[in-house]
Amino acid sequence: QLQASGGGLVQAGGSLRLSCAASGRTFSSSFMGWFRQAPGKEREFVAAIKWSGGTRYATSVSGRFTISRDNAKNTVYLQMNSLKPEDTADYYCAAGTVFGATVRSYDYWGQGTLVTVSS
């Protein structure tokens, strides 16, 4: 089970840190990812991290967002800086066995946490 938290309302230019805690099994050997879905839009890739720490980002968030993980705590984080109104969405964490940027690369999904960025 994956439990995402940390969403909220923030002004443009502000920061938030999302957390995703895993329980019921260990995800230390899995690839972990963050996706987001805005109203009326498809779910899109945000960032992913390997068990070894290697990362990849969507172009739209590169340089502003940082994904990290603490395998001892079975938790993955998404630090979001310089937030923009277009970052407003439900954010989902996921775990899988493919270091991918597509929804189908991931087998386990948490519930969404809403991030709202006001202008």
pLDDT single digits (tens) 16-35: 999 999 887 767 668 999 99
What is the number of other CB atoms lying within 10 angstroms of the CB of residue 38? 14
Establish how many alpha carbons lie within 13 A of residue 91's alpha carbon, considering only the half-sphere containing its beta carbon: 30
d(CA 90, CA 45): 12
d(CA 61, CA 105): 20
Q: Report pLDDT for 40.
A: 95
pLDDT grade for 71, boundaries at 50, 70 and 90:
confident
Tens of pLDDT, residue by residue over 43-59, are: 999 999 998 889 999 99
Is the pLDDT confidence value at 6 over 90? Answer: yes
Tens of pLDDT, residue by residue over 72-89, are: 888 999 999 999 999 999
Rg (CA), the chain: 13
Q: Report pLDDT for 53.
A: 86
Query: What's the chain's average pLDDT?
Result: 93
d(CA 116, CA 101): 23
